[in-house]
Amino acid sequence: MDILLIGSGGREHALAWKLTQSLHCDELYCAPGNAGIADVAACVSLDIMDNGAVVDFCREKEIDFVVVGPEQPLVNGLVDALDAAGIPAFGPTQAAAQLEGSKAFTKELCAQYDIPTAAFARFNNAPKAKMHVRQQMSVGGAPIVIKADGLAAGKGVVVAHSVEEACEAVDACFEGAFGEAGAEVVVEEFLEGEEASLFAICDGQTAMLFGTAQDHKRVGEGDTGPNTGGMGAYSPAPVLTQELIDEVMTEIIVPTLAGMHARGHPFRGVLYAGLMLTAEGPSLIEYNTRFGDPECQVLMPRLKSDLVELMLASAQGSLLELPEAEWDTRTALTVVIASRGYPGSYEKNTVIAGVEDAEKAGALVFHAGTSHKDGKLLATGGRVLNVTGFGGSVGEAQKAAYDGVAKIRWENGFTRSDIGWRAIEREKAGG
Ligand code: AMP
Ligand code: GLY
């Protein structure tokens, strides 16, 4: 099959790397791709938010299957456009992608199907939202969580520690800080616990567990400082024991699929559950309707099964006919190397060397914001490289990843030095 992959991040490099290992993958194209993806796929410059342009390209190249990496084209209805053109694709339709595209939609579904999640209320105007905030905080105290309803690239969430802070966040949403995404606001109860992620590949009716992971969203050591897209991740997440995984599948994932099916929007693609492991059990923080970035950079290296077969079965509704996905039992850990200044502003087009040395040392290097110019590798984005290592424990995988990082020579780059710390502390404590 000739396959088109949509996206340009580290997630898509990991997907491209895995897709080309499939017996079913003939030619792989990637739109728009990056310098690392160009080593394994033919990169094409297409506007991935222009559904018509993507469909035209697929017709011209006789593409047999499309894999969508990021959320924006999903919420923009790319899979619907491909469906209408008779081109099979991996990923949810626009209606099913509401699980990521609208927090209020997901909250209503959880309420209807008794899926554990933080108590919530939704508002389309500031005065009512603030009345609710004051009332809730007078009973439950701080903190409280304020969220813009729509897609806000991870920036639309404020954990407010005072009524003033909460009201400011409400105003910011309605004043357009997140554009359209803030036209509705969700006010949530604050959940306490450790965060972890679970992935399930779904075909509309059936959900198959597709690995667990933990990421580090904050830019600074010890999970401090501003939020980023993710500075590193590891898989599996030891905190998600088999018992907890079973509980999440039964109480959260399966009822979600049933609910989406009943609403006439069967969910196909990968469902990424962001969970809070509270004292009362796992609770859903949010859904994403695509792979995580950088979680994908630790999931793909561990996957032993044929990715194209699984994705095709997801699109065609035949997951039940496949055996459970097989995984390397070792831990994979990835460290993001970002441009100095990220998640704020940063210099572009600085020169990177040593990627091959890191690979020779045994690490996998997935590119995010890179391009080639005059034989040199240039950093063109905030998150630039992902260096993935393997080990028998999170500690060993961390060492392998940082050994790879040490080989890379890039003055304008930085990493966190503590990716995996929570799990490693637990390993050291013997638990
Ligand atoms: P979200 O975009 O919904 O995943 O939220 C981003 C981050 O905000 C999450 O990864 C959590 O760290 C935090 N968060 C969101 N909702 C809650 C909640 N109800 N309780 C505690 N923390 C939350
Ligand atoms: N790493 C978080 C995300 O992909 O949303």
CATH of the domain at 138: 3.30.1490
Residue 179 has pLDDT above 70, yes or no: no
Domain shared by 280 and 237, yes or no: yes
Domain shared by 255 and 236, yes or no: yes
Residue 298 has pLDDT above 80, yes or no: yes
Binding pocket residue ranges, ligand 2, CB within 6 Å: 215, 230, 288, 292-293, 295
What CATH number is associated with residue 256?
3.30.470.20
154: pLDDT confidence band, cut at 50, 70 and 90?
A: low
How many angstroms separate the first and last alpha carbons of the chain? 46
Residue 16 has pLDDT above 90, yes or no: yes
3-state secondary structure 361-392: CCCEEEECCEEEECCEEEECCCEEEEEEEEEC
Cα–Cα distance between 292 and 312 in angstroms, integer? 20
Ligand 1 centroid–CA 320 distance in Å is 33
pLDDT recorded at residue 156: 73
Ligand 2 centroid–CA 215 distance in Å is 8
Cα 82 vs. chain centroid, distance in angstroms? Answer: 22
Q: Whose CA is nearest to atom 5 of ligand 2?
A: 292
Residue 6 has pLDDT above 90, yes or no: yes
188: pLDDT confidence band, cut at 50, 70 and 90?
A: very high
Ligand 1 centroid–CA 285 distance in Å is 6
Residue 156 DSSP SS3:
coil
User: Does the CB atom of residue 274 touch ligand 1 within 6 A?
Assistant: yes
335: pLDDT confidence band, cut at 50, 70 and 90?
A: very high
Residue 342 inside a domain? The answer is yes
pLDDT recorded at residue 126: 87
Q: What is the rounded average pLDDT of the residues 128-138?
A: 86
Q: Whose CA is nearest to atom 19 of ligand 1?
A: 190
pLDDT recorded at residue 153: 66
Percent of the chain with pLDDT over 70: 98
Least confident of 138-142, 215-219, 390-394, 412-416: 138-142
Ligand that lies nearest to the alpha carbon of residue 232, given by its number in the listed order: 2
Ligand 2 centroid–CA 293 distance in Å is 5
Q: Whose CA is nearest to atom 12 of ligand 1?
A: 195
Ligand that lies nearest to the alpha carbon of residue 288, given by its number in the listed order: 2
- For 223-232, write each residue's pLDDT tens digit: 998 888 899 9
Q: What is the rounded average pLDDT of the residues 403-419?
A: 98
Residue 105 inside a domain? The answer is no
**CA-atom Rg of the chain in angstroms:** 21
Quote the number of domains for the chain.
4
Q: Whose CA is nearest to atom 8 of ligand 1?
A: 157
Domain shared by 231 and 250, yes or no: yes
Domain shared by 145 and 35, yes or no: no
Q: What is the rounded average pLDDT of the residues 101-109?
A: 90
Q: Whose CA is nearest to atom 15 of ligand 1?
A: 285
Q: Please state the atom number of ligand 1 nearest to the C-alpha of residue 192.
A: 21
Q: Which domain holds residue 421?
A: 331-429
Residue 76 has pLDDT above 90, yes or no: yes
Q: What is the rounded average pLDDT of the residues 267-276?
A: 98
Residue 293 inside a domain? The answer is yes
182: pLDDT confidence band, cut at 50, 70 and 90?
A: low
Residue after which a domain boundary falls, among 183, 202, 228: 183
Residue 111 inside a domain? The answer is no
Output the CA torsion 342→343→344→346 (10° steps): 30
User: Does the CB atom of residue 193 touch ligand 1 within 6 A?
Assistant: no
pLDDT recorded at residue 176: 74
What CATH number is associated with residue 30?
3.40.50.20
Q: Whose CA is nearest to atom 2 of ligand 2?
A: 292
pLDDT recorded at residue 30: 98
User: Does the CB atom of residue 223 touch ligand 1 within 6 A?
Assistant: no
The model carries a pTM of 0.94
Contacts of 33 (CB under 8 A, 6+ apart): 5, 8, 12, 16, 41, 43, 44
Among all chains, which residue has been given the structure tokens 């509705």? 184
pLDDT recorded at residue 127: 87
Domain shared by 60 and 162, yes or no: no
Cα–Cα distance between 253 and 261 in angstroms, integer? 12
With 0-12 / 13-18 / 19 or more C-beta atoms within 10 angstroms meaning exposed / middle / buried, residue 164 is exposed
Ligand 1 centroid–CA 257 distance in Å is 22
Domain shared by 282 and 224, yes or no: yes
Domain shared by 264 and 171, yes or no: no
Ligand 2 centroid–CA 272 distance in Å is 9
Q: Backbone phi, then psi, for 194, in 5-degree steps?
A: -100, 140
pLDDT recorded at residue 405: 98
Q: Whose CA is nearest to atom 3 of ligand 1?
A: 286
Residue 99 inside a domain? The answer is no
Contacts of 19 (CB under 8 A, 6+ apart): 3, 5, 25, 28, 67, 307, 308
Ligand 2 centroid–CA 387 distance in Å is 17
Residue 150 has pLDDT above 90, yes or no: no
Least confident of 26-40, 75-89, 99-113: 99-113
Domain shared by 176 and 199, yes or no: no
What CATH number is associated with residue 389?
3.90.600.10
- Between β-strands 194-203 and 268-278, what pairing exists: parallel, antiparallel or unpaired? antiparallel
Residue 128 has pLDDT above 90, yes or no: no
The residue type found at 72 is: Q
Residue 100 inside a domain? The answer is no
State how far the alpha carbon of 377 is from the alpha carbons of 348, 353, 407, in Å.
Answer: 12, 7, 15
Residue after which a domain boundary falls, among 48, 78, 93: 93
Q: Please state the atom number of ligand 1 nearest to the C-alpha of residue 118.
A: 19
Ligand 1 centroid–CA 408 distance in Å is 33
Cα–Cα distance between 411 and 207 in angstroms, integer? 44
Domain shared by 215 and 292, yes or no: yes
Residue 157 inside a domain? The answer is yes
Residue after which a domain boundary falls, among 133, 162, 183: 183
Residue 118 inside a domain? The answer is no
- For 226-268, write each residue's pLDDT tens digit: 888 899 999 999 999 999 999 999 999 999 999 999 999 999 9
pLDDT recorded at residue 34: 96
Cα–Cα distance between 232 and 401 in angstroms, integer? 10
Ligand 2 centroid–CA 292 distance in Å is 4
Residue 199 has pLDDT above 90, yes or no: yes
Mutate to test the pocket of ligand 2, among 295, 300, 335 (most ligand atoms within 8 A of CB): 295
Mutate to test the pocket of ligand 1, among 272, 286, 287 (most ligand atoms within 8 A of CB): 286
Domain shared by 349 and 314, yes or no: no
Residue 152 has pLDDT above 70, yes or no: no
**Would you state the structure tokens that stand for residue 206, as one six-digit string?**
């059936």
Q: Whose CA is nearest to atom 4 of ligand 2?
A: 292
User: Does the CB atom of residue 99 touch ligand 1 within 6 A?
Assistant: no
Domain shared by 203 and 316, yes or no: yes
Domain shared by 222 and 286, yes or no: yes
